[in-house]
Amino acid sequence: MKISPASHVRGTIRLPGDKSISHRAAMLSAMAVGETRIDNFASAEDCASTISCLRSLGVAIERAGNTVVINGVGKTGFFPPAGPLDCGNSGTTMRLLSGIVAGQDFPCVLIGDESLQMRPMKRIIGPLTEMGAAITSNDGRAPLSISGKNPLTAIEYRPPVASAQIKSCVLLAGLNADGETTVIETVQTRDHTERMLRWFGVDVAATETEGGLRITVSGDAVLTSRDLIVPSDISSAAFFMVAAACLRGSDIVLPNVGFNASRAAIFDVLGDLGANMRLTGQREVNNEPVATIRTQGGISAAKTPRANLVNGPTVANLVDEVPILAVFGTQIDGGIEIRDAAELRVKESDRIAAIVENLRRMGATVEEFPDGLKVERSDLAGAVIDSFGDHRIAMAFAVAGLLASGETEITRAECADISFPGFFDTLASITDA
């Protein structure tokens, strides 16, 4: 895919439904009793993987465009699949679904593509084994063979890394356990699972304690179907926020974007770094905060001297936006330093290495650390970019291409479909060279 420099971006973009929320909407509707209609379901390929796995588990699902209707089977009504459950590229599908199948009385196998087979699964094998599931793997990686059990043993679990996927996996397994299952978070991660469980009528306790946030579900819980609308994806919005902020004369409006505090740190961080952004129409849609985000071109001075260092718990709340944040860093005084982000090394690619490599290809001055990177303010030059088959790398560097001098070429750019089919067409539609 070739990207030419742009002078500005303008327009109103209705972004696809949130990927994280769509996965949960599909899985929890499947575990509910009754029929659920989901509107604005993500067009992301990852969410199609979730739908296809649920169908293999005997769930009747109708899909017409972005409307999905799911006939819930209840917490234990799934059927043994005829073959392996293919999670494609999707870590969320594999980790959350593992929590669900661990509580079923049958065995199944979860597989994934080359990237997913490289990703760490011990983090869910550990707690699920403690709960009574029997799991074999390829030394802690997929394929995973899970022999489920019902009921599982309720546990109290403190994830060793900040991860919404681990938390959600254990909570979903907890719905089929013999008592109360608690996850203790010292760093808070996205809470979409908790919010959606409540939407489906489940009592989820979340209590702040000295040791962290204790989140508890009961094995007695019953999920009751209830229609919902998925907000647009803030992780997709971030690419357009950065493009608009960096190009003078830009004006981009993004309506109905999910603005959950555990996901929206990118908005505050860009604002603190001088981006010109405004929020309107804040409201809640099925327990999820939503807002319209408007970004106009031009960056002022950073609001605080510390703004150029992004680290600590903030990182968990913009974990998927780090690639585009690094690109933003090339455009601001003082650049940007991102630390405490070692988890990025085990995403769809080693994102730290991928960002550093590609920023250098574009002529930026970058330092790499085990847990992050530091990039100076740099003039970017068009280059051949290796997406490493990672959707967020492909899209972040497409935006970098708009800001660069000369043409940029992104390899294997079709991987953008993992979270945002149509991304390049959308980008072209708002770009005025």
Judged by the rule CB under 6 A, the positions of this chain that interact with ligand S3P are: 20, 23, 92, 163-165, 168, 190, 319-320, 343
Residue with Cβ nearer ligand S3P (290 or 341): 341
* Cβ within 8 Å of residue 346, ≥6 positions away: 119, 120
* Cβ within 8 Å of residue 194, ≥6 positions away: 171, 204, 206, 215
Residue with Cβ nearer ligand S3P (149 or 190): 190
Residue with Cβ nearer ligand S3P (302 or 353): 353
Residue with Cβ nearer ligand S3P (168 or 308): 168
Task: Considering the candidates 86, 191, 320, 386, report the single residue annotated as catalytic.
Answer: 320
Q: CA torsion, points 102, 108, 114, 116, in degrees to nearest 10?
A: -10
Distance of alpha carbon 404 from alpha carbon 264, whole angstroms: 27
Residue with Cβ nearer ligand S3P (153 or 262): 262
Tell me if residue 320 is catalytic.
Answer: yes
Residue 106 host element (H or E):
none
Residue with Cβ nearer ligand S3P (170 or 332): 170
CB of 319 to ligand S3P, least distance (A): 5
Could you tell me the CA-to-CA distances from 181 to 24, 75, 241, 253 in Å, in that order? 19, 16, 39, 42
Could you tell me the CA-to-CA distances from 247 to 36, 62, 81, 236 in Å, in that order? 42, 42, 50, 18
Distance of alpha carbon 212 from alpha carbon 93, whole angstroms: 26
Q: What are the b/e assignments for 158-191, b being 16+ CB within 10 Å?
A: ebeebbbbbbbbbbbbbbbbeeebbbbbebbbbb
CB of 384 to ligand S3P, least distance (A): 26
Report which of 68, 90, 427 is spatially closest to residue 236, judged by C-alpha positions. Answer: 427
Residue 295 contacts residue 241 (beta carbons within 8 Å): yes
Give the tokens for residue 255. 């309506």
* Cβ within 8 Å of residue 206, ≥6 positions away: 191, 194, 213, 214, 215, 216
**Phi/psi-derived region of residue 322, left when phi > 0, alpha when psi is between -120 and 50, beta in every other case:** alpha
Residues recognised as catalytic: 320
